[in-house]
Each structure stands twice: as C-alpha cells, then as structure tokens.
Structure 1
Amino acid sequence: MAKLVKHTNGRFYVHYHDGSRSRQVSTKCTEKQPAEQFLAQFLTGQTPTKDDLTVAGILDIHYRDHGQTLRNQAATLSRKKILTEHLGDLKAQQLTKARLNRYAKARCVKRGTLRTELAHLQAALNHCVRDGYLSVAPVIDLPRPSPVKDRILSVDECDALLAASEGDLHTFILIGLETGARPQAILDLTWGRVDFERGQIDFLPEGEEQTSKRRPTVPASERLLGYLSNMEKLHNTPVITSGTIPYQFKRLCQRLGLKDVTPHTLRHTLISHALMAGKDIYLVAKFVGDNVQTIEQRYAKYRPDYLKEMTNVWRCEQK
C-alpha cells in the first residue's frame, strides 16, 4: 500500500512496496495538497506530466526553489496560502481571464493588493516554465498599479509623531524620518550593521544581495546616532524587537488625527523635504536607495526651482 511520508528535507515522498522490496519516490512537494494529487496519479499508474501540474503544485515549487530567499516571509506565505485556497485545484491552462476576474471579485481587496497577489502567481508560473515543470505559462493581465500617494508629513506632524511615541515605535519613526529607509529594511536592521565609529547604517542584511528595492549604506545624522548610542545593544540582535510596529503606528496616527499616513509615508516625507531644502536629486536617490528617474517622476515637484523657467513667458516676449 502506497502512502505519503514527509522527510526531514521538508518534501513528501511516496513509500510503497513493489512485491520484492520497499521503494520511495519524491513528489517534489513540501505541502500536502499537491503531494496528495501526485499520489492519486501515482496510484493510477500515471506519471504526472507538465500539463497535469496544478496551481498548488506550481506555487509549492516556486516557494521551494525561490520563495524562501525572499524578504518578508510572512507576506510571501500569506499570498501563497490565499492563491492556493482560491485557485489551487486549477491547472495553468485553466487560468483564463474570466476565471481570474472571478478570483478578483471573490477577494474583494484593494487594487494594489490584488496586483501583488497576481504578480506572485505570474512569477511562480514563469519560474516553472524556466525550470521545465511547465511547457507554457499563461500571461496574467495585472491590474494597473495603485496611484502613488502624495501624502507627506509637515515638520509639526513629524514632531508630533516623535513626541507621542516611545520605545521601539519611536525608534522606528526616528530612523524612518532620518534615513528614508523602507519600513521592512528598518525592521530588519540589526546592531551589527550600525557602525557608530564611522557614523553609518548598513540596511542590507549580511549575505543578502541587492534587489530593485535597494538597501543602501547611509551616513546617520547626529540626532539619530546620539539616540541609538543610548539604547541597549547586543551584537547582531534586531534594533527593533517588537513585531507589531505597523499596528502601533496605525493606532498612533489615529490618536493624533493624522489621515492617510502609513509607515511608508516616513520615506516620502524625507525625500520630499530633502528636495524642498534644495538637496541634489542624485544624492537624494542614492541616499534612499532609489534611481534618479523614479525620484524625478514622483518628487520633482517639491524642488524649489521646479519648472520655474516656464513662468513669465509672455513678459519675456514683450521685452
């Protein structure tokens, strides 16, 4: 009798007896649902083919081969679980536009969230084609990106956030306002990457490679270094230990009456105020780990000389 057994490497294997001795074959799956599908085909004498692979199996292979190296594992696993629950039994060729429209209606989430989930699915499909698990991947029509939020904090609002916060939340806000680092980069920061002697902070975790969302090494302000130097420090332990910072930040903003403010607003605020102060756009981009084109497109309007050359056109002609 064949049965599924999960090995120490995290994968399920089919254990069976061929009449003379015990044998085993890998399902190449780390989750039970796609492994059971493999077992069902195995028991009927079928060898699973590329066209037989379900979305659950595709997502499982993608996570096994690539997903575990991604940052923010909780979010990655959450998307994988949601996609599996809604689409897991389907095969790649069944991911039609009509079916994905039904998925969108069933999810009833914001456009940006839906885009992120479907992009995750597309990445998994493409990965399985590249590695030979699928013959072809359908092209998913992703929703348009959500419009960039223009909300930035005034100096008074920044001061209010700092004055009303304490502990890890205060540390998070101060680092965000002083460095413009992405929220997850701040939460991932460890003491071993805060160089007090050189006055620098390295936001890239040891052993990780840079992605499109760069995590640069930046100089820290005197205010930030002074604050961090007074904290209790243990080498390579997180600077921020609380796991509820996003929730705490949301509650604080509600208490202060700050609308449309998210942790990412701290980054927008630093970039915008730096340009308003006349800082060079190239240096701003380097400091926050972004490219000049993106900063130009999203934030150029905050520069004091923005399009000033286009004013008083008619007055110039009359001279």
Structure 2
Amino acid sequence: MTQELVSPGTLRREFNVLRAALRRAWKDEFLVRPPEIEPPRDSAPRDRFLTKAEAKKLLDVCETPHVRTFMAIAIYTGARKGSILSLTWDRVNFQTGMIDFQEAGRALTAKRRAVVPMTTALRRELESAFKARRGDFVVQWHGKPVPNGLRWSFGKACERAGLDWKPTPHHLKHSLASWFAMDRIPIDQAADWLATDPVTLRRVYRKFDPSYLRSIADGFEL
C-alpha cells in the first residue's frame, strides 16, 4: 500500500477542522470535556513568491475575461480566492474608488475581509469588466458566479506565462505581501490592505525588507 505524503499546511487545516468539530460536540454536550490533542507543528513560511514581472506576464496571458478579472483583483488587492469569487458589483464603488470584500450579513471570522482602494491599473480592468457584465458577480461565467474556484484555468495561465514553478492562487496574496515589505510599506497599512494580522506580517514578511536590521549590520564592527 502506497502512503501519500501530506504537507504540514494541509495537516494543520485538517487538525483545525477536527478541533472545531470536537469543540462543537462538547458545547452540544455530546462530550464531557473537549479532548486535548496536540496540534501539528507550524511549517516554515514559504519564501517563493511571484516577481512583479511574473505577475504582469501572468495577467497578460489570461485568455478569458473572467480569469483575467480574477487575476487582476488577486494581484492588485491580495484578496483571498473566496472573497474575490463572492464579490458583487454593488460593493465596487467607482466614485470612491473602493472595493468592499465584506459581504453583508456574513459572520466575521478570523479570515477578515478588507476594504481596499483600486489601483489605476485595477480600475481599468474593472471598468472593462463592468461594461461587459451579465450579472451581479464581478467574476462570472455566462452571467453566473464561479463557485468552485479557477484551479484549472489558473494552472493553464501559469503554463502560458512560462513560469518555471507552479504557484497557486494563494501565492498572489503572498506575493503582494512580499512586495509591500520590499517597498517598505508600513506594517499597519499593509495589514489593513491584506486583512492580515500585523503580527503575522512582521513574523513572515519583514525578512523581505532590504532595510530591516541594515542599521545594525552597517554599524557592527569588531
């Protein structure tokens, strides 16, 4: 029997689901107390991210409008896939230039959703998509939302872009966070834009800031 390896990230996600289910069972009084189970260790933060040139190339090779719209929003806002696919036109305000990824009535969770401004390039993409719209959803296929993600289309776009590695849609958020660090964007602003905990940004992305610890290195001598 062949054993399939599971990545640490997948293992942690499965653990979190299991822990939530057991806690629910405890609250519903099916268990006397919530079981104490040790979580798997964190994996090292990923280092690989798209360069800005790779991201531009990836956007340029998108052949279908809904894939290009998804790619543009992901690259310029760093929003999660689910936030983008559920985005409707009533939350895209061309007058203020803001995009509100928070759905009305949706319960707030640890995965926060941001309100972010459009970049000039993203505004052009969205204005074009708005003119061609056939429904309420910003990313749509024949007027209907795209509920199951764009894994196949995303993979094909990566192939056409000639990338020598296989990024996932989440790498777009990771890449934007890395660019913000390299561009020395203040942590609080980056956290608000990416709807990410500032502590996480400091822990994972500050190493991409070329000036981080530079003053110590420049002044350190024997």
TM range (shorter): 0.7 to 0.9
1:219 positional shift: 0.8
Which of residues 5, 11, 15 is equivalent to 1:118? 15
Which residue of structure 2 lines up, in the alignment, with residue 142 of structure 1?
Answer: 39
Please say if residues 151 and 260 of structure 1, whose CA atoms lie closer than 8 Å, have aligned partners that are also in contact. no
Which residue of structure 1 lines up, in the alignment, with residue 70 of structure 2?
Answer: 172
Distance 1:160 1:297, change over 3 A: same
Q: Identify unmatched segments of 5+ residues in structure 1.
A: 1-104
Distance 1:126 1:107, change over 3 A: farther
Which residue of structure 2 lines up, in the alignment, with residue 228 of structure 1?
Answer: 126
CA–CA distance in structure 2, aligned partners of residues 146 and 293 of structure 1: 17
CA–CA distance in structure 1, aligned partners of residues 191 and 11 of structure 2: 29
Distance 1:306 1:179, change over 3 A: same
Which of residues 182, 190, 202 is equivalent to 1:276? 182
Q: Report % sequence identity.
A: 34
Deviating more after overlay: 239-248 vs 115-124: 239-248
CA–CA distance in structure 2, aligned partners of residues 111 and 295 of structure 1: 20
Matched, 1:308 2:201: no
CA–CA distance in structure 1, aligned partners of residues 39 and 82 of structure 2: 24
Question: 1:1-319 maps to which residues of 2 (within 5 A)?
Answer: 108-166=5-63, 167-231=65-129, 232-233=132-133, 236-240=136-140, 241-242=145-146, 243-255=148-160, 256-315=162-221
1:197 positional shift: 1.4
Distance 1:146 1:304, change over 3 A: closer
CA–CA distance in structure 1, aligned partners of residues 205 and 191 of structure 2: 11
**TM-score, normalised on structure 2?**
0.85
Query: Partner of 1:218: helix, strand, or coil?
Result: strand
For 2:73, the aligned partner's letter is: I
1:233 positional shift: 3.0
1:152 positional shift: 1.2
Larger Rg belongs to: 1
Distance 1:222 1:312, change over 3 A: closer
How many matched pairs? 212
CA–CA distance in structure 1, aligned partners of residues 220 and 13 of structure 2: 48
CA–CA distance in structure 2, aligned partners of residues 207 and 239 of structure 1: 20
Please say if residues 199 and 219 of structure 1, whose CA atoms lie closer than 8 Å, have aligned partners that are also in contact. yes
1:108 positional shift: 4.7
CA–CA distance in structure 2, aligned partners of residues 153 and 225 of structure 1: 22
Distance 1:179 1:314, change over 3 A: closer
Query: Partner of 1:264: helix, strand, or coil?
Result: helix
Distance 1:139 1:223, change over 3 A: same
For 1:292, the aligned partner's letter is: P
Deviating more after overlay: 239-248 vs 260-269: 239-248
1:289 positional shift: 0.5
Please say if residues 193 and 236 of structure 1, whose CA atoms lie closer than 8 Å, have aligned partners that are also in contact. no
CA–CA distance in structure 2, aligned partners of residues 156 and 107 of structure 1: 35
For 2:22, the aligned partner's letter is: L
Q: Identify unmatched segments of 5+ residues in structure 2.
A: none
1:220-267: CA deviations, max 9, x gaps?
Answer: 112111211122235633434344512211232234233141111111
Please say if residues 54 and 163 of structure 2, whose CA atoms lie closer than 8 Å, have aligned partners that are also in contact. no
1:171 positional shift: 1.2
For 1:109, the aligned partner's letter is: V
**TM-score, normalised on structure 1?**
0.61
Please say if residues 180 and 268 of structure 1, whose CA atoms lie closer than 8 Å, have aligned partners that are also in contact. yes
CA–CA distance in structure 2, aligned partners of residues 112 and 303 of structure 1: 25
